[in-house]
Every structure is written in structure tokens, then in C-alpha cells.
């Protein structure tokens, strides 16, 4: 695993609070993580996101390739990190009281030395909020692993 190798430090950007911070919590959760992980930012609302990018988010919504690309790029620039991961998704309500076909949608952007890689997950919208959150987290970790491995 990446935690056991000497890798350049990187910081992540987690621009949406819909997963409850699982990705930022997962990265430093292993022994030796300080060799590759330095910082995480958690921006939940639109003001925090626009503050990071220095203006309005591009794209049709905060849950778009354009928005997460702007967030990852801004985080990488602000932090001086080698890699910055941004994600924004819709996990659904905690109690499952409302249903929408948009739940389970999550965009990711990883800004690194070779540019930006974006990806999208479109999960079953009728999974629970927790199931969406865990799958979003695993996908983000896989993107980081693929980039630094």
C-alpha cells in the first residue's frame, strides 16, 4: 500500500460534505501516512468552494467534472502539493426519506504533475446514504493509488 512507501507528500481537497469526511479520514488512518499525506480541506457549502477557486464554480452544478476540476486545481496550487483530489457527489438523505435518481452520482478530479484526471461514479440511486459514501470513498482512494503507484 502507498502508506508503506516513501512517496511525495500530497494533499487532498474534499469539496463536498455529503460523505461526512470519510475520504479525509481514510487517508491518514494508516501507520506511516505522514510520509505521503499532509493536509485535507473540507468545504461543504458553495461559499467555501467559491472561496477556494476565487470565484464562481464552472459547470452546471457543483456536482460536475468542471467544478471538481477547478477545485482540485485550486487546491493543488494553494497547497503546493503534488496531487490534490476533489470530489462532489450526492449520497442521499441520511434517513432515506426522499428518493432521487441523482443519488449515487459523484464526480472526482485528481490534479497532479501530469494534469487532471476526472472520473464519475453513477451508482444505484436506491443504495443507502452510507453505501454511497463508502463507495465514493473507495473510488477516491483508488484514484490516488493509481496515480502514485
Task: Give the best-scoring range by mean pLDDT among 10-19, 54-63, 71-80, 112-121.
Answer: 112-121
Is the alpha carbon torsion for 49, 94, 136, 9 positive or negative?
Answer: positive
The CA-based diameter of the chain, rounded to the nearest angstrom, is 45
Let me know the angle formed at the C-alpha of 100 by 95 and 105, rounded to the nearest 5 degrees. Answer: 95
HSE toward the beta carbon, residue 32, CA cutoff 13 A = 8
pLDDT of residue 4: 34
Q: Span 47-68, mean pLDDT?
A: 91
The pLDDT assigned to 8 comes to 52
Neighbouring-strand partners of residue 116:
111
Distance between CA atoms of residues 139 and 149, nearest Å: 15
Record the pTM.
0.81
User: For 3, how many CA atoms within 13 A lie in the half-sphere containing its CB?
Assistant: 10
Location of C-alpha cell 479520514: 25
For residue 127, the Cα-to-chain-centroid distance in whole angstroms is: 20
Amino acid at each position: 500500500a502507498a502508506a508503506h512507501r516513501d512517496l511525495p507528500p500530497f494533499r487532498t481537497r474534499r469539496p463536498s460534505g455529503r460523505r461526512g469526511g470519510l475520504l479525509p479520514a481514510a487517508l491518514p488512518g494508516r501507520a506511516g501516512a505522514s510520509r505521503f499525506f499532509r493536509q485535507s480541506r473540507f468545504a461543504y457549502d458553495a461559499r467555501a468552494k467559491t472561496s477556494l477557486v476565487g470565484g464562481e464554480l464552472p459547470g452546471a452544478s457543483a456536482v460536475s467534472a468542471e467544478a471538481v476540476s477547478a477545485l482540485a486545481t485550486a487546491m493543488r496550487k494553494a497547497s503546493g502539493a503534488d496531487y490534490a483530489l476533489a470530489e462532489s457527489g450526492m449520497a442521499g438523505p441520511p434517513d432515506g426519506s426522499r428518493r432521487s435518481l441523482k443519488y449515487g452520482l459523484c464526480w472526482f478530479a485528481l490534479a497532479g504533475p501530469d494534469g487532471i484526471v476526472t472520473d464519475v461514479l453513477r451508482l444505484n440511486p436506491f443504495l443507502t446514504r452510507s453505501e454511497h459514501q463508502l463507495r465514493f470513498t473507495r473510488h477516491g482512494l483508488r484514484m490516488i493509488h493509481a496515480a502514485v503507484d
